[in-house]
Amino acid sequence: MADVNRGNRPLSPHLSIYRPQLNSITSILTRITGNALLIGAILIVWWFVAAATSESAFATANSVITSWLGDLVMFGSLWALWYHTLAGVRHLIWDNAAMLDLGSAEKLGWAVVIGSVVLTILTVLVI
């Protein structure tokens, strides 16, 4: 039975109470990028299947993937891949009970964010 003397207090902490922290944002982004990578993977699989199917199917898939929107999706997928990879490395570090203090966790968060941007740009420049 609920406590009737709670007054007008919230039942649990929520986003309107806490200021977003880097660790919470990077955690949410890890989940988002993991799911978003499916979009890029589906497009690439579609491209391969179209190439194996017919010339017209490949022409359609290729025109979508090489369009400005396709380029944008592929660039975003590349960033998501680097981000998700670096976030996974961060979690491997934490799984070894290392760098769990707040200062080190903050540095790892920035390393994931900055590292993913730098690696994405380097990948685009090399390819």
Residue positions forming the annotated binding site:
84
Among candidates 23, 31, 121, which has minimal Cα distance to 79? 121
Distance CA 57, CA 72 (A): 21
Binding region for heme? 84
Torsion of CA 18, 22, 23, 25, to 10 degrees: 80
Scanning the chain, the segments in alpha helix (DSSP H) are 22-53, 55-65, 68-95, 102-126
C-alpha span between 122 and 77 (Å, rounded): 15
Task: Output DSSP code: residue 7.
Answer: T
